């Protein structure tokens, strides 16, 4: 069963800072340019904690990015830059946005609460992507130093009737906080501190299974960290009172945003692959070899939107390969790829990205699993036009533009206990960091 808990969040003090000056995108989505911009925006911007600039700490004083983050977090609480909620709360969290590349406006609704950290073997929390060791090590160092969670892990649950949203969003009035981010996304937050409402929410979530949408590295880091801690003696409850549910011990839970996977507000974008620095890459030779597995059709010199529009009309496994010699639509030939995909579970053999990784990256380009894991010759980009321009500028050998994974595909893979290649999904928009903070002490 999924267990959620209210918590006494730390939040930015609106009388001390402007919210738009201090919140950030998730740490792994912060580019160097964004990092610099956040630093300049405010001396209390959360980037100084979640992704500090290493050149600014004092090595001679024994500082590093993690000790400095802990120092700043402590100081901001002491100075009243961050203030704590008086009572345990959950937060309704809505994001209104324009779907990239379209005129469509949507709203994604969820809520922020603590969620119990559970092993995948318990079959309550399911992953859908592989993880990398370097990000987990980085997040573990930060968690140990600060003893706090600054961003939310993005969790999906199924609720076709929308009963959970109805509990949170009926008659909730004006938002307690709102901010528009650098991508034009409006984020709104409502405090929910009524004990009866919280108990109803806890009960409504009790039978849910959860899929990690974003935050696999942070989830696994928090889970591993929790294993090094144990529950303290249970607190005594005053006679006649009904205590709200709480974790067995602070480390046993992490801060999460829960979103209904059956909601119309969910948007998954593709993540494109760009391959560079290959020894002896020749486009003509590549496409000749690709004909053993795919039909190869030449495309006009479109921009990325034209390529993606062409790709969106394909019903089978397909992707667009862009090289300096031109762009081509590759359609999978099921009989031809069968042997190359024999080691994959049946449901994954029909995934575009599974075939791209197993057949194209590994067999045709010689990028084995370790090279992919280390990103030796591989970059992941959301912006298809950026991927195309890198090739045309001679900074990459070949770019692969892909269709997005569907929610149905994600559910089938995750609930079967399987995982897709890294960076298979890109849920848009991202959850802002700094709207609420969970301190373990």
Give me the mean pLDDT over the 186-210 stretch.
96
Report in angstroms the alpha-carbon separations of 438 from 263, 357, 374: 27, 37, 31
The whole-angstrom separation of Cα 280 and Cα 54 is 37
Same domain, 85 and 198: yes
Same domain, 181 and 317: no
Q: Give the pLDDT score at 237.
A: 47
Give me the mean pLDDT over the 214-227 stretch.
94
Number of residues assigned to the chain: 441
Specify if 43 maps to a domain: yes
Pull the structure tokens for residue 198: 């919280």
Q: How distant is the alpha carbon of residue 319 from its chain centre?
A: 23
pLDDT tens figures, 275-299: 999 999 999 999 999 999 999 999 9
The whole-angstrom separation of Cα 426 and Cα 267 is 8
Cα angle 183-90-45, degrees, rounded to a multiple of 5: 40
Same domain, 229 and 369: no
pLDDT tens figures, 376-433: 899 999 899 999 999 999 999 999 999 999 999 999 999 999 888 888 899 999 999 9
Q: Give the pLDDT score at 176.
A: 96
HSE of 268 in the Cβ direction (CA atoms, 13 Å)? 20
Specify if 194 maps to a domain: yes
Closest among 107, 42, 140 to 263, alpha carbons compared: 107
Closest among 139, 115, 148 to 259, alpha carbons compared: 115
Model confidence at 235: pLDDT above 60: no
Q: Give the pLDDT score at 233.
A: 54
DSSP character string of 366-382: ---HHHHHHTSSEEEES
**With bands split at pLDDT 50, 70 and 90, how would you rate the model's confidence at 171?**
confident
Model confidence at 23: pLDDT above 70: yes
Share of the chain above pLDDT 90, in %: 82
Give me the mean pLDDT over the 109-121 stretch.
97
Same domain, 280 and 259: no
Specify if 424 maps to a domain: no
Same domain, 182 and 40: yes
The whole-angstrom separation of Cα 432 and Cα 410 is 23
Same domain, 326 and 370: yes
User: DSSP label at 121?
Assistant: G
Q: What is the mean pLDDT of the chain?
A: 92
Q: Give the pLDDT score at 380.
A: 92
- pTM for this entry: 0.91
The CATH number of the domain holding residue 357 is 3.30.1760
Share of the chain above pLDDT 70, in %: 96
Same domain, 260 and 142: yes
Same domain, 340 and 200: no
Specify if 414 maps to a domain: no
Model confidence at 173: pLDDT above 70: yes
Give me the mean pLDDT over the 355-366 stretch.
95
**With bands split at pLDDT 50, 70 and 90, how would you rate the model's confidence at 239?**
very low
Q: Give the pLDDT score at 439.
A: 98
**With bands split at pLDDT 50, 70 and 90, how would you rate the model's confidence at 238?**
very low
Pull the structure tokens for residue 294: 């795919």
Specify if 422 maps to a domain: no
Closest among 145, 133, 10, 136 to 65, alpha carbons compared: 145
User: DSSP label at 151?
Assistant: S
Q: Give the pLDDT score at 256.
A: 98
Same domain, 93 and 202: yes
Same domain, 17 and 114: yes
Do residues 195 and 242 lie in contact, with contact meaning Cβ atoms separated by under 8 Å?
yes
**With bands split at pLDDT 50, 70 and 90, how would you rate the model's confidence at 268?**
very high
User: DSSP label at 286?
Assistant: H
Specify if 263 maps to a domain: yes
pLDDT tens figures, 38-95: 999 999 999 999 999 987 666 666 789 999 999 999 999 999 999 999 999 999 999 9
Report in angstroms the alpha-carbon separations of 130 from 153, 168, 350, 404, 422: 16, 33, 18, 17, 5
Number of C-beta neighbours around residue 291 at 10 A:
12
Closest among 41, 36, 44 to 15, alpha carbons compared: 44
Q: Give the pLDDT score at 9.
A: 98
Q: What is the C-alpha radius of gyration for the chain, rounded to an integer number of angstroms?
A: 23
Specify if 416 maps to a domain: no
Specify if 423 maps to a domain: no
Cβ density class 6-26: b for 16+ within 10 Å, e for less: bbebbbbeeeebebeebbbbb
Same domain, 385 and 435: no
Give me the mean pLDDT over the 224-252 stretch.
76
Lowest mean pLDDT, pick from 67-81, 162-176, 248-262: 162-176
Do residues 105 and 190 lie in contact, with contact meaning Cβ atoms separated by under 8 Å?
no
The whole-angstrom separation of Cα 269 and Cα 99 is 9
Same domain, 323 and 260: no
Evaluated on CA atoms 268, 274, 275, 281, the torsion sign reads positive
Question: How many structural domains does the chain have?
Answer: 2
**With bands split at pLDDT 50, 70 and 90, how would you rate the model's confidence at 240?**
very low
Residue-number span of the structural domain to which 170 is assigned: 4-234+244-267+429-439
Strands 90-98 and 186-192 turn out to be antiparallel
The whole-angstrom separation of Cα 240 and Cα 369 is 59
Pull the structure tokens for residue 108: 């994604």
């Amino acid at each position: 069963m999924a267990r959620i808990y209210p918590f006494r969040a730390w939040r930015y003090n609106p009388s001390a800072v402007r919210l738009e000056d201090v919140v950030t995108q998730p740490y792994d989505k912060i580019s160097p340019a964004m990092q610099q911009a956040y630093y300049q925006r405010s001396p209390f911007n959360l980037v100084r904690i979640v992704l500090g600039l290493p050149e600014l700490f004092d090595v001679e004083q024994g500082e590093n990015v993690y000790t400095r983050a802990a120092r700043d977090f402590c100081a901001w609480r002491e100075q009243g830059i961050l203030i704590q909620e008086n009572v345990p709360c959950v937060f309704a969290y809505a994001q209104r946005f324009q779907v990239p590349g379209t005129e469509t406006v949507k709203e994604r609704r969820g809520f922020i609460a603590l969620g119990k950290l559970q092993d995948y073997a318990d079959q309550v929390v399911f992953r859908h992507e592989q993880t990398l060791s370097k990000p987990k090590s980085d997040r573990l160092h930060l968690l140990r130093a600060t003893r706090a969670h600054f961003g939310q892990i993005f969790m999906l649950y199924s609720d076709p009737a929308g009963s959970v949203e109805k509990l949170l969003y009926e008659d909730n009035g004006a938002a307690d906080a709102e901010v528009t981010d650098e991508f034009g996304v409006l984020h709104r937050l409502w405090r929910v501190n009524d004990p009866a409402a919280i108990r109803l929410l806890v009960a409504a979530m009790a039978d849910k299974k959860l899929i990690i949408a974003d935050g696999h590295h942070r989830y696994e880091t928090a889970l591993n960290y929790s294993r090094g801690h144990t529950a303290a003696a249970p607190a005594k409850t005053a006679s006649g009172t009904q205590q709200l549910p709480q974790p067995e011990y602070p480390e046993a839970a992490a801060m999460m945003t829960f979103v209904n996977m059956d909601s119309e507000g969910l948007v998954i974008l593709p993540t494109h692959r760009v391959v560079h620095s290959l020894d002896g890459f020749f486009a003509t030779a590549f496409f000749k070899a690709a004909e053993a597995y795919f039909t190869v059709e030449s495309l006009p010199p479109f921009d990325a939107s034209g390529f993606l529009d062409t790709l969106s009309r394909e019903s089978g496994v397909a992707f667009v390969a862009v090289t300096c010699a031109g762009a081509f639509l590759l359609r999978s030939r099921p009989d031809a790829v069968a042997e190359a995909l024999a080691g994959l579970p049946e449901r994954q053999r029909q995934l575009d990205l599974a075939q791209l990784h197993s057949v194209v990256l590994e067999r045709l380009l010689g990028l084995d699993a370790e090279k992919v894991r280390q990103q030796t010759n591989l970059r992941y980009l959301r912006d298809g036009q950026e991927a195309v321009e890198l090739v045309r500028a001679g900074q990459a050998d070949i770019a692969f533009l892909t269709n997005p994974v569907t929610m149905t595909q994600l559910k089938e893979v995750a609930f079967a206990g399987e995982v897709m290649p890294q960076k298979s999904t890109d849920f848009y928009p991202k959850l802002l960091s700094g709207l609420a903070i969970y301190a373990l002490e």
